[in-house]
Amino acid sequence: MEIYLDNSATTRVSRAAADAAFSVMTENYGNPSAVHSSGVRAGAVLENSRRSVASMLGAEPSEIYFSHSGTLANNTAIFSAVNLRRKMGNRIVTTKTEHPSVARCMDVLEEQGFQVIRLSPGKNGAFQTDELINAVNKNTILVSAMLVNNETGSINPVELIERAVKRVSSPALIHVDAIQAFGKMPVRPSKMGIDLLTVSGHKVHAPKGVGALYVRKNLNIKPVIYGGGQENGLFSGTEPLPAIAGFGAAVNNLGDPRKNLEAMKQKKSYLLSLLRDEKRIVINSPADGLPNIINMSVTGIPSQVLINYLSERGIYISAGSACKRGHRSEVLTALGLPANLIDSAVRVSMSGQTTDEELEIFAAAVKEAIKSIRTKL
């Protein structure tokens, strides 16, 4: 029996998504840009998936653009926003706990001469409101902050960014990386004052190779890659229709994010109850974070040692972001955690497919590891 608890890295493709992708690959395989009947049918699949993603976000289908990954969507949002506003100012506000697909963009912009302000996380891992307000001024052209942190589950109050921007009449556009939040909690960019918002398929049981970017209506951003003009020119290149069809089907199967959130809170509570008596376990995730993600340290056991121990028993977790293996977590470092907790930190991330039995087996295996590895160290 394999127990997969690394759902923040990627998820198992749902049957509905796999069936939709298979159908496109073997039956409805036309190029959606073609004008013949096969292309028209493929185009209908593309638009049905667009409507599904839009509905989950409370957006209009015309505001959704499919990309080949969440990383590409983040890069496009950031560089396009800066290019659109660069004549209005030079300041960019972000956080110290962003995913590498945002953080590395900020490094590049800083090298190009932009002033990048990185907000520090508070005790709960979210940016602090006062620091945000002080950072945004009339010279700010972009504010970019993730909604849910991929390593700790901390939730940033991104709905406050619009208030900070309007307070000083800033021309700043607001970008939110909602890749970890999408489908797991209510996300409504139009109600949250968000101009650009990124989601990804493989975090919600769709195939890898597809993401999407929400672009607020009437916001005319320019692409950062050029080609055949697909997705209204924003993401050129033949659309990965099997993945897009799977994305649409997976979203249709997600259900109500509010109910998903409540169900996951119960799973988190149950898992923590199973681990509560083990004194060497320290929970690094905040109590009010997204319950799907639990970052914890087993003191005295290096992260990779515990990961290997569990992997040998068919239980899969991670040491943090799957995008930065072999590096000490910048997120946990920004939180000010001591080195011993950072070096022993692991991330357990659940999905709606996670069962109580799997959590019980995981908890038992961790307790066995503490006894076994402690003896050997």
Catalytic positions, written as ranges: 323
Q: How far apart are the first and last CA of the chain?
A: 28
DSSP 105-170: HHHHHHHTT-EEEEEPB-TTSSBPHHHHHHH--TTEEEEEEESB-TTT--B--GGGHHHHHHHTT-
Q: String of b and e for 98-125 (b: at least 16 CB within 10 Å)?
A: bbbbbbbbbeebeeeebebbbbebeebb
From residue 2, alpha-carbon distances to 9, 23, 179, 350 in Å are 16, 28, 25, 14
Whole-angstrom distance, CA of residue 251 vs CA of residue 48: 11
Contact present, 297 and 344 (Cβ < 8 Å): yes
